[in-house]
A and B are shown apart, each in its own frame.
Chain A
């Protein structure tokens, strides 16, 4: 097995009286695509936001490239090499698609670069994710869901991360579009970027993940290769009332 890139240990999150996460352990290895699944409200987004620093953990630690990053602000974590796409893609409504991605190309890492160079880089990222370049100068608020998701992905890639966190990238996409997304995810991994991907739809994640972690009501209930997880009795029971997720 390759080296561990990211390790979360005993991550717990208390929100009011609710325990959104109960001592979750999780590791992402170098060059790995790790799938994170679970029914709605399982705590997937919360776990992702704790890793990226947007939400503070109640307990537990997150280690990235051997360094504890728990408690660091999100912009610092981004610059260390973790970037994130959001489940609810809002982006920067009044900035253009190109500006949104350029911001990340400039500020997302420690390289010093000129605005013009960053803008050029941003254009390459937009092209890579299949964003229609003729809409580069369109304010993000005028884009459709699919275009917004592409901007999100380009923005996340523009900081040149070592680890990419993706929250329900294919939700809201049709079958063709999600197949395209899966192709993109594989392409991204080929560039040496490890991926932690959340999907509600099992079909998508089964095909693309090397390993899968299953969360239910804040607890890790299974972990393993896709076929192992798919045949795990506890996972099947959890998903029983939610067959359309398969």
Chain B
């Protein structure tokens, strides 16, 4: 289905946004909780960007590439300019978008699995190139300091950082929503559902897939830039497979092809992940998350967002029988 109309009632958006806005107060300014929340917001944006690409029927296994490109470009510019700004972050997004566009040009004619492999390979190659060939500028495997998003000298800098990142994430998700509800969203969905029939309806798959690829890379680059400026450091580790897989896991867990899926998936898995660590289950949590994922995929193939619908169906069945 196209981005389900009417399934995002304003009050649920309002409540979610309200919680997000009040969160730093509720969290009692705990440094650790605020940090977790900021990283969660960044991954909500990253997952939404990945999911946006998946919406057009394209699966990337190497989105860490664009995450890292955004991070490196913004860091390098910020270092030479002396400070991080919206301009450096935007530049990170734009370079990621441009490289995404070029990679898309070679990829959009490939079928799903080949596309997945090419993107995966691209992230691997990029990691090696950044770590070795470009070591003079990137600091190699040791990495380099990335100027903070908000200078640490400011009072409550972490709270300010939280709100800046929240704003960027919310604006991006609203943009994704508007794009998917427009004619572009219809073209993406048609291509995903049946490429031949989409062509027979006058849709040029190459053009729309490229657009999806470019927008997705742009938003991923932005999220990568936010991440490294939040952490204050960047190394080629940013291109690692973990960073490619988490957005996929979050999106599938929450619900592929929906706006709320990546948000809910990221929030719940982050909370579970961090709580398990707090409980001292540092290694066991991999197994627990893995099991959780398997259970959801088997019983809720459309992700957690489909839970209410599933319960309603069950209830209706019981009433009937």
Residues of A within 8 A of B (CB): 52-54, 73-76, 78-79, 83-84, 86, 90-96, 99-100, 102-104, 106-109, 115, 118, 139, 155-156, 158-159
Contacts and interface: CB of A to CB of B under 8 A. Distances in A.
Contacts of A86: 196-197, 200
A155 B193 contact: no
Nearest to A85: B200
B54 interface: no
A139 B204 contact: no
B1 A94 contact: yes
A75 B194 contact: no
B201 A78 contact: yes
Interface in B183-234: 183, 186-187, 189-190, 193-194, 196-205
A92 B193 contact: yes
B1 A108 contact: no
B189 A95 contact: yes
Of the listed residues B187, B193, B198, B205, the one surrounded by the most CB atoms of chain A closer than 10 A to its CB is: B193
Interface residues of B, number: 20
Contact of A159 (B183, B187, B197, B201): B201
5 contacts: A74-B196, A90-B194, A106-B183, A107-B203, A156-B200
A68 B173 CA distance: 45
Contacts of B200: 52, 54, 74-75, 78, 83-84, 86, 155-156
B204 to A, nearest CB: 5
Contact of A73 (B2, B186, B204): B204
B275 interface: no
Contacts of A107: 183, 187, 201-203
A103 B187 contact: yes
A95 B199 contact: no
A94 B202 contact: no
A90 B203 contact: no
A66 to B, nearest CB: 21
Contacts of A139: 1
A92 B202 contact: no
Of the listed residues B1, B199, B202, the one surrounded by the most CB atoms of chain A closer than 10 A to its CB is: B202
Contacts of B1: 94-96, 99, 139
Contact of B197 (A92, A109, A115): A92
B199 A93 contact: no
B182 interface: yes
